[in-house]
Amino acid sequence: MNRQGQLFGGNWTERKLTILAKYLDAYNTALKKQPFTRVYVDAFAGTGYREQKRLPQHLGFFTPPDPDAERFCKGSARRALELEHGFHRYIFVENDEEKVRELKKLQCEYLDKSVRIIPGEANAAIASYCESEQWRSVRAVMFLDPFATEVKWTTIQRIAATRGVDLWYLFPLMAVNRLLARNLTKALNPPPPGPPRRTAPSDERNQISYHFTWEVHST
């Protein structure tokens, strides 16, 4: 079968997706007798497969290329669809047109499941979904695994306001470190001072701070 995948990740990616799949299965098992419609939302769904490089055991300047150095692994979308204890509905958001086409092929493999594919930008799609869902009768797991810092803080606030979403947000620490390093370089090497000029008062709305809170609820 001709599979199109997205190239990223290593063994750590495989582990995180395995952990996610186990959590999703446990989540559905725990809520199966509750009167809720269960929804899985993947806001950076990709293609359903991810293409992983397998590096040779002995690396060197003259290591010959391995024609079988790439292997296809199941992505988060496909793993969710393959769960033994599944969701009532699945929502996959993807901004890349080619990946959307691959997701539609994946959708055709699971015609017995309610799968909705939303082409578009993740923040806008999440905002629309959170505002339109019937949260009194719905519970959802939302998986956010961006490549960089695409997720806005206002999006996290909208998700929290639903009070019906279990959020998995894999924060891209490497991307933040790159931004911090870039800002630190600018701070250590400031440009030479120019002539004095009047500036408008700073707008506090442009200052974004991230607050992460973990709450433990006893049952």
What is the mean predicted confidence (pLDDT) over 183-202? 56
State the pLDDT confidence band at 190, using cuts at 50, 70 and 90.
low
Average pLDDT in the chain: 76
CA atoms within 13 A on the CB side of 106: 29
The pLDDT of residue 201 is 46
- Range from 51-55, 97-101, 139-143 carrying the lowest mean pLDDT: 51-55
Contact assessment for residue 56 and residue 6, using Cβ atoms and an 8 Å cutoff: no
Q: Which domains does the chain have, with CATH numbers?
A: 6-54+68-185 (3.40.50)
Q: Which of the pair, 54 or 135, is modelled with greater confidence?
A: 135
Looking up tokens 């806001």 gives 43
Parallel, antiparallel or unpaired: strands 138-144 and 49-53: unpaired
Q: Which of the pair, 75 or 132, is modelled with greater confidence?
A: 132
The pLDDT of residue 204 is 38
Beta-carbon contacts of residue 202 (< 8 Å; ≥ 6 apart): none
State the pLDDT confidence band at 161, using cuts at 50, 70 and 90.
very high
**pLDDT at residue 138 greater than cutoff 80:** yes
Whether pTM > 0.85 for this model: the answer is no
Q: Which of the pair, 46 or 38, is modelled with greater confidence?
A: 38
State the pLDDT confidence band at 21, using cuts at 50, 70 and 90.
very high
Contact assessment for residue 6 and residue 51, using Cβ atoms and an 8 Å cutoff: yes
Looking up tokens 């997706």 gives 17
Give the phi and the psi of residue 171 in degrees, each rounded to 5. Answer: -75, 125
The pLDDT of residue 14 is 81
Rounded to whole angstroms, the Cα distance separating 159 from 32 reads 23
The pLDDT of residue 74 is 79
**175: exposed, middle or buried (Cβ count in 10 Å: 0-12, 13-18, 19+):** middle
Tokens for 60, please give them. Answer: 């060197």
The pLDDT of residue 217 is 40
* Residue percentage of the chain with pLDDT more than 70: 61
Q: Which of the pair, 132 or 207, is modelled with greater confidence?
A: 132
Rounded to whole angstroms, the Cα distance separating 60 from 211 reads 44
**pLDDT at residue 199 greater than cutoff 50:** no
